Structure 1
Amino acid sequence: MRVPRISRTRYAAVGLVLATAGALALPAGTAVAAPTGDSTTGPLLSYVVNTKANHGQVQKVEKAITGLGGTVVQSYEQVGVVVARSNDTKFAEKLRLAKGVDSVGASRTKGILASDQGNADVAAEPTGAAAAADGQEPYEPNQWDMRQIGVDKAHKLSLGSRNVTVGVLDSGIDATHEDLAANVDASQSVSCIDGRTNTDWKAWQPTTSDHGTHVAGTIAAAKNGKGVIGIAPNVKLAAVKVVDDGGFIYPENAVCGFVWAGEHGFKVTNNSYYVDPWMFNCPNDKDQAAISDAIRKAVAFSQRKGVLNVAAAGNENIDLAHKTTDVSSPDDTKPGSRPITNDCLSLPTELPGVVAVSAVGVNGDKSYYSSYGKGVVTVAAPGGDARYQIPNTPDKNGRILSTIRGNKYGYMQGTSMATPHVTGVVALLASTFPWASPDELTELLTNQAESHACPKGVYNPGNTGQFTATCEGGADDNGFYGAGIINAEKAVQWWR
């Protein structure tokens, strides 16, 4: 059973963040139809082409691409991925025969347009704020999520280090926001739209979405007497724009983002999305297999460079350990339904070494929408549950309050909002343990998490039968909460 698509949940936010409903899946291997007749000319598509890294193979593959009439958009020799475009409906089939090519996959099913129509996110302004206590930010009384994981207590010991850079792979960060401007590092920010890098300031600013700005505030909103407080308010933020104006995070954008993170010394990245257009990428489909190969190589490269990647589990209330059906792919054209197995992966969430995050509400119970899975979820964090778990705060709002565009503040909920809580705690850990590798940071993170046992029987929030789920595992390792709910206070106490 899944959450109704009140938002595009490849963007892992639900609630007051409203965007076009994400869709249903065509059978594996479905291609965009070619025009009638003998012509192989079709819509302009983008492709990821995989080859060997750092062995001179990239240049050979580039020649093969241009020899077939295609265009090379950008090459990532570090990982052996070339981003190409072609309007030849036989392009992938022909290129797969070229020497040195390991795999080729169309990264979308919708033709590339000159411009895409974006969908604005909607977030409510905070209401009912109580007077802040001495030392608190004005809206801090409304941040039940921060108190739930001990951020107020953690800040007595650490606010994070300026030597730690957090990459926010998302829709961009409003670098003019009063609570973010001091922490956004323009020199490390970039747009990765269409799979190529653009460091122009305007290129990585948000255009149609509050999502990335909201995520950034949870991680590192400054302690400056304004608005809200972030978990690690002294660390630096890098905006890595991977979301286009249509709201899509295509594979080439994600590859660009992970390579950029690795090359620029980030300690942790936040990934509150799944890579479009397939919710799950299956190895028996040539296009999806190539997408998986490209993302896997880019993620592994970033990890070798010292980056820990944190990703959202998703908002479909799906048991990721027992997959049966994908009903949301491809989300950029006409969706359909197809059977899947556990070999079909949500990217980047299910890749090795990635910290997968589920969401909880104010009571510490799984949020009704949060996906889950034994052996998939690493930890849990507050993502909000405005339907069944309402906090006793001045605003009585079960969502997460953070920064949004235009120097404003607003509420959102989802595993998108849970993920930056984990990213913020990892940033505190990296500040305390600057020598720690990604694996060591993951171990520190899971060791400080508060164990949370599975509920007895079938989980049935609100007793409505609409969002039932079954939790597997023991108190210290289960499908709903992984190793447990993160704890910022414990994270900064480890060395004391």
Structure 2
Amino acid sequence: MRHLSLTRRGAVAVASLALASTAAVGGVAVASTDAEPVSTPVTISTPDGQLMSYIVNARIANPGQTRLVEAAVRAAGGVVVQSWPQIGVVVAHSKVSTFRADVVAKGGNAVESVGASRTVAVTEGTPEAVGASWGRGASGYMKGAKKAFNGDVESDASPAATTDPRETEQWDMKMIKADLAHAITDGSRNVLVGVLDSGIDADHPDLVKNLDVANSVNCSDAGRPSTTGWEPTTSDHGTHVAGTIAAARNQVGTVGVAPNVRLASVKVVNDDGFIYPEYAVCGFVEAGLKHMDVTNNSYYVDPFEFYCEDQPDQYAAKEAVRRAVTWSTKQGVVHAAAAGNSAHDLSDKSSFKDTGSPDDGTPVTRTLNSGCEDIPTELDGVVTVSSMQRFPAGTMDSRLSSFSNRGLGKIDVAAPGSSILSTIVRDNGYGLKSGTSMASPHVAGVLALMKSVHPTWTPAQMIEKLRQQADDKACGTTTAGPACVGPVTDNSFFGEGVVDALDAVS
């Protein structure tokens, strides 16, 4: 997969938002007022006759303003694909080359920003029967699924004395003390974790018990929620992530961090492997609508590894995802996200260039500034997770994985992410994967255990406790990327330390 502090990041986000908002409505990028450079512009061509996807943000997030934006979309020659009045976001398709300028002209003060959400033509087409779909959320069961959670809340299972066959190979669980936490609880059936990813294998024996079909949703059809299509098609990434979070304790295969909680498949990856902004927005809003407790986000939003607030198209997409994250957090959802696999220092965007964006077209080498962020992991209220590897091999010692992004004030906690054994689609089997994508679900699992024991805690309380309970870890060394800086209590490699499952349930 291509793959926080609420107080640390809040002030920066507000300052950059004020600048970018002014630039985005007019459609012209402006220079920063401080010493930072303007980020390298990326022109997204929208020729007449080519179906393109757009994000249009209302100035005020309410149904009335959203309807005004919808009217402007239609007047500008566009089709309303999906509306999210909760956050004032409209997803639109159009074949008109001047759509961005036209929707601003037609919408007037109702439009806060508009931008193309990808650099290439829409491949999934415009869904049939589109219109004012007000994002009430999908419901029902997917046909053909071998088992569906029936909606009844089961009593919490007592920790089992037995060991699953491959549990002894899961050194990562021991490193975060999940094995000790399981002596207290395997988690509550009341807790639901949304896996925003490529889908979860509904047949896997380690996942079927915990898969909540009724709350699973597919967001990869142009950003509209659907009760069908949420299983994996071209990638087993989401299945691997799901197993780390909640593979059942059933004397089969492996065991997850929280083996008794429920999992919802929230598919945000299309068959080509892209997670476009409208998919992510759908995923986060659906998580809020379905009252999920935790989400895991082991990806960055395509087509840009970093979304820059001084570029209108990128700003509009980033603003929509930011609104979706903020709204779902207010509904009680706490989000864990992978820090990324580029060995970058996220705290200093001037120290490197982005050479891989846009990844759905022709990449350009981009100069970045502090308003350029990897989303969703750098958004406020999201727990950013770096990856550790076992080092020396065969021991329980560890160091930062060479691929992991890092950054002082950017990383919240660390978790194992190199050579992680978990569930895969092929043969309903098990395999090893590496990446911050594999680190983040350990944290999502710990948050699920924490919510099981403390069901009334808010996302902010859970993040605060997660940081406080993390085991301090000194910088140490790594084989690639910027050097580690900061004290043992909060440094650029491990943030506030290694996530601790035992403390989360004690």
Report the TM range for the smaller structure's normalisation.
0.7 to 0.9
Partner of 1:323: 349
Residue equivalent to 1:103: 113
Residue 272, structure 1, aligned to residue 298, structure 2: yes
Q: Which position in structure 2 is the counterpart of 1:255?
A: 281
Structure 2 match to 1:212:
238
Give the SS at the match of 1:204.
coil
- Aligned pairs for 1:85-164 within 5 A: 85-97=93-105, 98-99=107-108, 100-114=110-124, 135-164=162-191
In structure 1, which of residues 240, 243, 248 is the aligned counterpart of residue 269 of structure 2?
A: 243
Matched, 1:283 2:293: no
In the alignment, the residues of structure 2 paired with residue 436 and residue 135 of structure 1 have an alpha-carbon distance, to the nearest angstrom, of: 31
Superposition map of 1:38-77 within 5 A: 41-51=48-58, 52-77=60-85
1:475 to 488, 498, 501: 488
Residue 43 of structure 1, CA deviation: 2.1
Whole-angstrom CA distance in 2 between matches of 1:340 and 1:89: 28
Q: State the distance in 2 between where 1:156 and 1:357 align.
A: 25
Quick check: 1:372 aligned with 2:406? yes
Write the deviation string for residues 7-64 of structure 1: whole angstroms up to 9, x where unpaired: x533xxxxxxxxxxxxxxx942312263xxxxxx142111111002124011111111
Q: How far is the alpha carbon of 1:113 from its aligned partner?
A: 2.3
1:408-449, Cα deviation, whole Å (9 max, x unpaired)? 111101000000000000000000100000000001111111
CA distance in 1, matches of 2:269, 2:63: 31
Alignment partners' CA distance in 2, 1:144 and 1:469: 27
Taking the aligned partners of 2:124 and 2:474, their CA distance within structure 1 comes to 51
| Match of residue 183, structure 1, among 180, 204, 210 | 210
Structure 2 partner of 1:227: 253
- Given residue 413 of structure 1, which amino acid in structure 2 is its aligned partner? S
**What secondary structure, in the 3-state scheme, does the structure 2 residue paired with 1:156 have?**
coil
**Moved >6 Å (runs of 4+):** none
Give yes or no for contact 1:9–1:316 (8 Å, CA) kept in 2: no
Shift of 1:142: 1.2
- Residue deviations 1:316-375 (CA, integer Å, cap 9, x gap): 000000112211110000101010012111100111110000000123210010000111
Alignment-mate amino acid for residue 369 of structure 1: F
Equivalent AA in structure 1 for residue 431 of structure 2? G
Write the deviation string for residues 188-217 of structure 1: whole angstroms up to 9, x where unpaired. Answer: 1000011101012xx101000000000000
Return the alpha-carbon distance in structure 1 between the equivalents of residues 417 and 433 of structure 2. 8
**Conserved 8 A contact 1:460-1:469:** no
Query: Does 2:432 align with 1:411?
Result: yes
More helix by share: 2
Which amino acid in 1 is paired with 2:86?
Answer: Q
Matched-pair contact (CA < 8 Å) for 2:310–2:371: no
The CA distance in 2 between the partners of 1:114 and 1:29, in whole Å, is 24
Amino acid at match of 1:214: H
How well do the aligned residues superpose, as a CA RMSD in angstroms?
Answer: 1.5
1:50 aligned partner, one-letter code: N
Are 1:109 and 1:330, in contact at CA under 8 Å, matched by a contact in 2?
yes
Q: Which residue does the alignment assign to 1:333?
A: 361
The residue type paired with residue 358 of structure 2 is P
Equivalent residues of 1:165, 1:266 under 8 A apart: yes
Which residue does 1:126 correspond to in 2?
none
CA–CA distance in structure 1, aligned partners of residues 55 and 339 of structure 2: 24
Unpaired runs of 5+ in structure 1? 1-7, 11-25, 35-40, 116-132, 385-398, 462-466
CA distance in 1: counterparts of 2:387 and 2:119, whole angstroms: 31
Higher relative contact order (CA 8 A, sep 6+): 1
Alignment partner of 2:225: what SS?
Answer: coil
TM superposition shift of 1:109 = 0.1
Which of 399, 420, 427 in structure 2 is aligned with 1:400?
420
SS in 1 for 2:399: coil
Give the one of 448, 451, 459 matched to 1:430.
451
In structure 2, the partner of 1:343 is: 371
Are the equivalent residues in 2 in contact too, given 1:322–1:342 (CA < 8 A)?
yes
Which of 5, 9, 15 is the matching residue for 2:2? 9
SS at match of 1:168: strand
Q: Is the 8 A contact 1:282 1:345 kept in 2?
A: yes
* Structure 2 counterpart of 1:124: none
Counterpart of 1:366 in structure 2: which amino acid?
L
Aligned residue number for residue 7 of structure 2: none
Q: How far is the alpha carbon of 1:68 from its aligned partner? A: 1.6
Given that 1:173 and 1:216 are in contact with CA atoms closer than 8 Å, whether structure 2 keeps it comes out as: yes
Measure the CA separation in 1 of the matches of 2:50 and 2:497.
47
Cα distance in 2 for partners of 1:154, 1:33 equals 53
SS in 2 for 1:112: coil
1:278-326 deviations in whole A, cap 9, x for unaligned?
A: 1111111100110111011000000100010111100000000011221
Question: Which sits farther off after the overlay, 148-157 or 433-442?
Answer: 148-157
Matches of 2:462 and 2:403, distance apart in 1:
28
Q: Does residue 354 of structure 1 match 2:382? A: yes
**Partner SS for 1:197:** strand
Match of 1:196 in 2: 224
Is the Cα contact below 8 Å between 2:420 and 2:434 reproduced in 1? yes
Q: Is the 8 A contact 2:46 2:96 kept in 1?
A: no
Distance 1:401 1:351 in 2: 29
Structure 1 residue 153: deviation in Å? Answer: 1.1
Contact 1:29 1:286 in 2 (8 A): no
- Cα deviation code 1:363-417 (max 9, x no counterpart): 3210010000111110000001xxxxxxxxxxxxxx0000011411111010000
Q: Distance in 2 between matches of 1:233 and 1:49?
A: 40
SS of equivalent to 2:50: strand
Q: Which amino acid aligns with 1:375?
A: G
SS in 2 for 1:61: helix
Aligned residues: 424
Partner secondary structure for residue 309 of structure 1: strand
Any idea what SS the aligned residue of 1:48 has?
strand
1:460–1:259: structure 2 CA closer, same or farther, 3 Å change rule? closer
Give the structure-1-normalised TM-score.
0.84
Provide the TM-score with structure 2 as the length reference: 0.82
Inter-partner Cα distance in structure 2 for 1:476 and 1:149: 17
Structure 1 residues 134 and 352: CA distance shift in structure 2, 3 A? closer
Residue correspondence of structure 1 range 23-38 to structure 2 within 5 A: 27-32=40-45, 34=47
Aligned to 2:333: 307
